[in-house]
Structure 1
Amino acid sequence: MTDLETPVAPGREGPWPRRVAPVLLGYAAVRALGLVALALWSATRDKSPHQLLTARWDSLWYTRVAELGYGYEVRLPNGDVHSNLAFFPLLPWLERAVSAVTPLSYADAGLLISTLVSLAAAWGIFAVADHVYGRRAGVCAVLLWAVLPVGIVQSMAYSESLFTALAAWSLYAVLTGRWLTAGLLASFAGLTRPVGAAVVAAVWVAAIASYGRDSSAQDLPAQDSSVRDPSVREPSVRERSGPAPDSAPLWRRALGMLLAPLGAAGYVLWVGQHTGKGPLGYLDVQAGWGNGFDGGYAFARFVADKFTSFPSALAGLGLIIGVALVIWLYVICVRQAQPIPLLVYAGIVTALALCASSYFGSKPRLLLPAFPLLLPLALALARLRTSRSAWVLGSVAVVSAVYGAFWLNGSGPP
Structure 2
Amino acid sequence: MGAAPWAAALRRAAPALGLFAAARLGGLLVLVAAAHHRGILPRARLATAWDADWYARIAAHGYGRTLFWPDGAVQSDLAFFPLYPGLIRAVTTVLPVTGGTAGLLVSWTAAVAAACGIYLLGERLYGRRVGTVLVLLWGLLPHSVVLTMAYTEPVMTAFAAWSLWAAVTRRWVWAGSLALLAGLSRPNAVAVAAAVVAAAGWELWRGGWRARRPWAGALLAPLGWCGYVLWVGAREGDVFGGYFAVQAGWTSRFDFGAGSLAFVKRLTRVPYDLGFPMAALITGVFVVLFALYVLDRPSLPLAVYSAVLVLIAVGGAGYFESKPRFLLPAFPLLLPVALALTRARPRAAVAVTVALAGLSFGYGAYLLTLATMAL
The TM-score with structure 2 as length reference comes to 0.94
Cα offset for 1:275?
1.7
Instruction: Select the residue among 8, 13, 19 that pairs with 2:12.
Output: 19
Question: Any gaps of 5 or more consecutive residues in structure 2?
Answer: 1-5
Question: Any gaps of 5 or more consecutive residues in structure 1?
Answer: 1-12, 216-245
Cα distance in 1, alignment partners of residues 159 and 278 from structure 2: 31
Aligned runs of 1:154-303 on 2, under 5 Å? 154-215=147-208, 250-303=211-264
Cα distance in 2, alignment partners of residues 291 and 302 from structure 1: 14
Aligned runs of 1:4-403 on 2, under 5 Å? 15-215=8-208, 250-308=211-269, 321-386=281-346, 388-403=348-363
**Contact 1:127–1:172 (8 Å) recurs in 2:** yes
Which secondary structure state, in structure 2, belongs to the residue aligned with residue 346 of structure 1?
helix
**Contact 2:282–2:324 (8 Å) recurs in 1:** no
Matched to 1:36, the amino acid is L
Which secondary structure state, in structure 2, belongs to the residue aligned with residue 19 of structure 1?
helix
Between Structure 1 and Structure 2, the one with more helix by share is 2
Q: Is 177-186 or 206-215 further displaced after alignment?
A: 206-215
Which secondary structure state, in structure 1, belongs to the residue aligned with residue 71 of structure 2?
coil
Cα distance in 1, alignment partners of residues 29 and 93 from structure 2: 30
Equivalent residue for 2:3? none
Cα distance in 1, alignment partners of residues 80 and 273 from structure 2: 34
Q: 1:137 to 1:339 in 2, by over 3 A?
A: same
Cα distance in 2, alignment partners of residues 179 and 315 from structure 1: 40
Cα offset for 1:355?
1.3
Matched to 1:336, the amino acid is D
The TM-score with structure 1 as length reference comes to 0.85
Cα offset for 1:312?
5.9
User: Cα deviation per residue 1:38-64 (whole Å; 9 max; x = unaligned)?
Assistant: 100001111010000011101000001
**Contact 1:306–1:315 (8 Å) recurs in 2:** no
Q: 1:41 to 1:321 in 2, by over 3 A?
A: closer
Equivalent residue for 1:4? none
Larger Rg: 1
Cα distance in 2, alignment partners of residues 194 and 317 from structure 1: 24
Q: Is 74-83 or 25-34 further displaced after alignment?
A: 74-83
Instruction: Select the residue among 364, 368, 373 that pairs with 1:408.
Output: 368
User: Cα deviation per residue 1:93-142 (whole Å; 9 max; x = unaligned)?
Assistant: 00000000001111100001111100011111111111111111111111
Q: 1:386 to 1:15 in 2, by over 3 A?
A: farther
Cα offset for 1:293?
0.1
Which secondary structure state, in structure 2, belongs to the residue aligned with residue 70 of structure 1?
coil
User: Cα deviation per residue 1:270-312 (whole Å; 9 max; x = unaligned)?
Assistant: 1112122222210010011111000110111111112225x56
Percent sequence identity is: 43
Number of equivalenced pairs: 369
Which secondary structure state, in structure 1, belongs to the residue aligned with residue 75 of structure 2?
strand
Q: Is 74-83 or 88-97 further displaced after alignment?
A: 74-83
Which secondary structure state, in structure 1, belongs to the residue aligned with residue 203 of structure 2?
helix
**Contact 1:365–1:413 (8 Å) recurs in 2:** no
**Contact 1:296–1:357 (8 Å) recurs in 2:** yes
**Contact 1:90–1:192 (8 Å) recurs in 2:** yes
**Contact 1:167–1:199 (8 Å) recurs in 2:** yes
User: Cα deviation per residue 1:343-390 (whole Å; 9 max; x = unaligned)?
Assistant: 100000011011111000001111101111100000001112445423
Cα distance in 2, alignment partners of residues 136 and 411 from structure 1: 39
Cα distance in 2, alignment partners of residues 360 and 386 from structure 1: 37
Matched to 1:325, the amino acid is V
Cα offset for 1:321?
5.0
Equivalent residue for 1:3? none
Cα offset for 1:316?
8.4
**Contact 1:307–1:316 (8 Å) recurs in 2:** no
Q: Is 321-330 or 172-181 further displaced after alignment?
A: 321-330
Cα offset for 1:330?
1.0
Matched to 1:156, the amino acid is M
Structure with greater contact order relative to length (CA < 8 Å, sep ≥ 6): 1
Q: Is 266-275 or 382-391 further displaced after alignment?
A: 382-391
Q: 1:321 to 1:53 in 2, by over 3 A?
A: closer
Cα distance in 1, alignment partners of residues 183 and 275 from structure 2: 34
Cα distance in 2, alignment partners of residues 317 and 102 from structure 1: 41
**Contact 1:307–1:313 (8 Å) recurs in 2:** no
Cα offset for 1:325?
2.5
